[in-house]
Amino acid sequence: MAGTQGDRAVITISCAPVRPYLPGVGEVYLVDPSIVHPAGRAADRPVLVVQVPATVNGRITVVTRTAPRDGTPGVASPGDPELGFDEPGVWAHLRSAEAHLWTPSMVRYRGTVELAVLTAVREAFGL
């Protein structure tokens, strides 16, 4: 909001605090790699949420999706334009993220996987 104060212009910028939120199990996000532990090399990487803590003071467990390579262990993930997957991939790496960092500026919602995919991924990682 702009205004004046004597002979000076005054601009007031209001910023609402960015609040973390808890995702749903089975949801897919594009995540800034700086919030994933251990950190990955790639830029924003798709992750599948497989466990969620009770509060934002815990850790969110995710599995990252990577390009399939010969022998890459994990669960096959076919291309899915609705989730932004142009090519086949593999749900391959179990990771975690601090829930208090799960904010709209760090993650982008892509959609939800089918229950069969979620079940296969959770079983592959013993969850």
> Per-residue DSSP letters for 70-105?
TT--SEEE--BGGGTB-S-EEEEEEEEEEGGG--TT
Question: How many residues belong to the chain?
Answer: 127
H/E element, 45:
strand 45-51
List the chain domain ranges: 18-124
* pLDDT at position 2: 46
* pLDDT at position 11: 65
Does residue 5 carry a pLDDT above 80?
Answer: no
Dist CA 39 CA 27 (whole Å): 20
Confidence band, pLDDT 50/70/90 cuts, at residue 76: confident
Contact by Cβ (8 Å): 59, 97: yes
CATH class of the structural domain 18-124: mainly beta
Average model confidence (pLDDT) across the chain: 84
Does residue 16 carry a pLDDT above 60?
Answer: no
